[in-house]
Amino acid sequence: MIPGLEPVPLRELQALGSVRNWEFEGQLDELPSLTPVRGNLQAEHRGNILEVSGSAQTIICFCCDRCLKQFNRKLSTQVNELIWLGDPEAAEAMAEQGLDASSVDGLVECLDPRGSFEPERWVFEQLSLQIPAVNFCGDDCSGMPQAANQAPHASLSAAADPRWQALLSLRADVGEESEVSRD
């Protein structure tokens, strides 16, 4: 719970008649982070629309999908969003406000005008969108555990499969030859 980011009734924002500002610092319950989530947020009620903008940043510990090591990554977001206050089916009214519900990226967020705006949820959603689908620790990634670290000979000599025997004896022959040629 981030102190100060409690839900605020939309009617309250409407009655305010101006921009409401939040400065915040704290931990999101649903997104554990190494450093507190810090940022700021502004919301303005404009009749049929709530304009929300803000930025937030934190550092999160991820587990690399490839080498399974943990690594830290900074997450930051800066967003300006228009939230439709009313019927999500009211495409015509949305268009009048410059919101296109049918466009490719027109996934318009909607809120019940009688409900509340949840600043903490908004911050959580914006940061969550920044989390990559695949976690990769970077160019120094050591790769998959075991497979990359195992010496090729180890798997060969350890194999109980008799079919490897021919290869093992071949390797032994090559070793003897090279010793001879070195003399």
Q: How far apart are CB 137 and Zn ion at their closest, in Å?
A: 3
Q: Is 66 in the site for Zn ion (CB under 5 A)?
A: yes
Q: Which is nearer to Zn ion, 146 or 178 (CB)?
A: 146
Strand 49-63: give its sheet, edge to edge: 20-26, 37-46, 49-63, 70-85, 109-111
Q: Is 67 in the site for Zn ion (CB under 5 A)?
A: yes
Q: Which stretch binds Zn ion (CB under 5 A): 40-48, 51-59, 136-144, 153-161?
A: 136-144
Q: Which stretch binds Zn ion (CB under 5 A): 46-54, 56-64, 88-96, 104-112?
A: 56-64
Q: Which is nearer to Zn ion, 64 or 91 (CB)?
A: 64
Per CB under 5 A, contacts with Zn ion among 142-161 are none
Q: How far apart are CB 38 and Zn ion at their closest, in Å?
A: 27
Q: Which stretch binds Zn ion (CB under 5 A): 20-28, 64-72, 111-119, 154-162?
A: 64-72
Per DSSP, what are the bridge partners of residue 59?
74
Q: Which is nearer to Zn ion, 8 or 64 (CB)?
A: 64
Q: Which is nearer to Zn ion, 38 or 66 (CB)?
A: 66
Q: Which stretch binds Zn ion (CB under 5 A): 14-22, 35-43, 118-126, 135-143?
A: 135-143
Instruction: Judge contact between 22 and 4, C-beta under 8 A.
Output: yes
Nearest to 57 by CA among 81, 80, 73: 73
Instruction: Judge contact between 8 and 119, C-beta under 8 A.
Output: yes
Q: Is 141 in the site for Zn ion (CB under 5 A)?
A: yes
DSSP letters along 88-136, please?
TT-HHHHHHTT--TTSTT---EEE-TTSEE-HHHHHHHHHHTTS-SS--
Q: In Å, how far are 64, 130, 180 from 141, measured between CA atoms?
A: 8, 21, 41
Query: What letter does residue 156 receive in the DSSP assignment?
Result: H
- Footprint of Zn ion on this chain (CB under 5 A)? 64, 66-67, 137, 141
